[in-house]
Structure 1
Amino acid sequence: MLRYFLENGLVNITDKHPDNWEDAIRISGEVMKDNHLVTDQYIDQVISDVKEYGPYIVIVPGVAMPHSSAENSGVLGTGIGFTIMPEKVSFEDGNPEKDAKLFFMLAAKDHDTHVKNIANLSDMLMEDDMVDDLLKIKTMDDYRDVMKKHNM
């Protein structure tokens, strides 16, 4: 799956320092917009969903999976964008379990593909040392090293 991000231009190792989690979601959406997979409308809906339902998108400490429903008209295509922030972003003050540095934004044109992408991403993240290795990435060379280590 790491190869998928690289080959499709969906990796963003950003030097932008988000002011808050909303800003972080907008930054994570940039690579998706650049690849014509989502519009600002989709990103606004993701932010609205987090405001309504809480930080459900932080799936494990350090990792967020921003997404909204497949029915969202702001979805232009199916894909997953991977953005690495320069530092962790807090989704819930005082709760480090709800901090994230790795952002995997999902968009899908249909529900089944959406669920499949979540499952594939979850499988990748459960690999031994994967999250720790991803958290250490600072450059594209680092990214390629992690890709080789995990044979992805």
Structure 2
Amino acid sequence: MLKEFLKNNIILTDEFDSWELAIKQASEPLLEKNIIKESYVEAMINSVYKNGPYMIIMPHIALAHARPEDGVNENGISFLKLKIPVIFPQENDVDIIIVLAAKEDEGHLELMAELADLLVDDEKTEAIRRAHNKNQIKEILFSE
């Protein structure tokens, strides 16, 4: 399932001046496919302003998300890998931003389970952080 959702939603870029711009870029594939609305992107950013960097789920990795009613049209996920990390509030450096869009609260559980399996694998996570192109990232993400 993760492979199907992510296959055309991976972005690799050098750097951004802010974490806000990085979240906007990470959201682009979902916006282009009308999976989310611009209001969802703004809700993710505003949520960090309001709640702090809660979306940093482990060192260097942020799982950007908001409420379904903030602008989710269907389930989706996108992946941004930065060569140079952005700094989130409270001095958290992040070089991987995953945007998760779920139509209902439980609509993404299987996808989240697959994502969790990937992220708890320290070797894969570090390999992704060292990757230099989309093909390398796909190979790591989708290997068994």
SS of corresponding position for 1:56: coil
Residues paired across the two proteins, number: 143
Residues of 1 paired with 2:123 and 2:28: CA distance? 27
Corresponding residue for residue 84 of structure 2: 87
CA RMSD of aligned residues (A): 1.9
SS at match of 1:129: helix
Say if 1:18 and 1:27, in contact at 8 Å, map to a contact too. no
- The Cα of 1:12 is off from its aligned counterpart by 1.2
> Normalization by structure 1: what TM-score?
0.84
Q: Distance in 2 between matches of 1:116 and 1:146?
A: 19
Counterpart residue number, 1:110: 104
Distance change >3 Å, CA 146–CA 116, structure 1 → 2: closer
One of 115, 118, 124 as aligned partner of 1:124: 118
2:117 alignment partner AA: D
Once the two structures are superposed, the pairs formed by residues 1-150 of structure 1 within 5 Å of their partners are 3-4=3-4, 5-6=6-7, 9-15=8-14, 17-72=15-70, 74-93=71-90, 95=91, 98-147=92-141, 150=143
> Counterparts of 2:113 and 2:50 in 1: how far apart (Å)?
24
Percent identical across equivalent pairs?
Answer: 27
Instruction: State how far apart, in whole Å, the 2-side matches of 1:43 and 1:145 are.
Output: 28
Deviations 1:101-124 (A, max 9, x none): 111100011000244433432222
**Cα deviation digits, residues 117-143 of structure 1 (max 9, x gap):** 334322220024121011011112322
- 2: CA distance between counterparts of 1:122 and 1:70? 20
Report the Cα distance in structure 1 between the residues aligned to 2:122 and 2:68, rounded to whole angstroms. 30
Contact persistence 2:68–2:102 (CA under 8 A): yes
